[in-house]
Amino acid sequence: IGFFWLHERAWERLRFGREEVQPVVVWLTGLPASGKSTLSQWVSDALRRKGFKVEQLDGEMVRRLFPQTGFTRPERDEHVRRLGFLASKLEQQGVCVVAATVSPYADSRAFVRSVCRNFLEVHVATPVAECERRDPKGLYAQARREEIRNFTGVDDPYEAPLSPEVRVDPGTMTIEQAGTQILAAVQERMRSRPGPNDRSGDVAQTR
């Protein structure tokens, strides 16, 4: 028993021949009904099966916790920054984060990138026509009838990422194909050693 105990303690301190991984913040951004949540679930499940600690965050879930948050640009910006700050804190604790949120503005996403150490932006680039066709809640139709305002893709802009780490289109590929592409990029980033506030990827746009 004593030999086994000493072996375990020594193995925990031995780094030679062992691959060290870095937690990743996977940020899925795209139009409403683009498939972000479905992809987020697929990637989260795949990472858990590989033994990683994973926390899945969803923009709608956080809005339910803060129901006073509206949909003006300042309110959307606050919402995304709040979600990004939470993701960065989980990352610091060694947890991989998979976040699915519209996050329509480039400057808000740039803030999230700046507070995360290992940030991987995924643009779920489903065209607006396809999002509107598959919309399960009928929100696009309500926005077209002006029953709801400030709806991204109708009367509020979506600033698509210029150079995300990953771009997928669930309208032209299966969820498994898109998820596999994201998972490959995540695993590559886990093996890399990015510097703090790595800003490669999304570039802020001006309106």
In sequence order, the 6+-apart residues with CB closer than 8 A to the CB of 31 are: 102, 124, 126, 128, 131, 152, 153, 158
Q: pLDDT-based confidence at 194, cuts 50/70/90?
A: low
pLDDT at residue 21, as a whole number: 75
Q: What's the CA gap between 87 and 25, in Å, rounded?
A: 7
Distance, CA of 179 to CA of 182 (rounded, Å):
5
pLDDT of residue 206 exceeding 60, the answer is: no
Residues labelled as active-site residues:
103
* Residue of higher predicted confidence among 115 and 11: 115
74-106 confidence digits (pLDDT tens): 999 999 999 999 999 999 999 999 999 999 999
Taking CA atoms, 190 is separated from 25, 26, 94, 102, 197, in Å, by 10, 11, 11, 24, 16
Cα(44)–Cα(178) distance, integer angstroms: 13
User: What pLDDT is stored for residue 192 in this prediction?
Assistant: 66
pLDDT at 133: 94
pLDDT digits (tens, 9 = 90+) for 116-167: 999 999 999 999 999 999 998 999 999 999 999 999 999 999 999 999 999 9
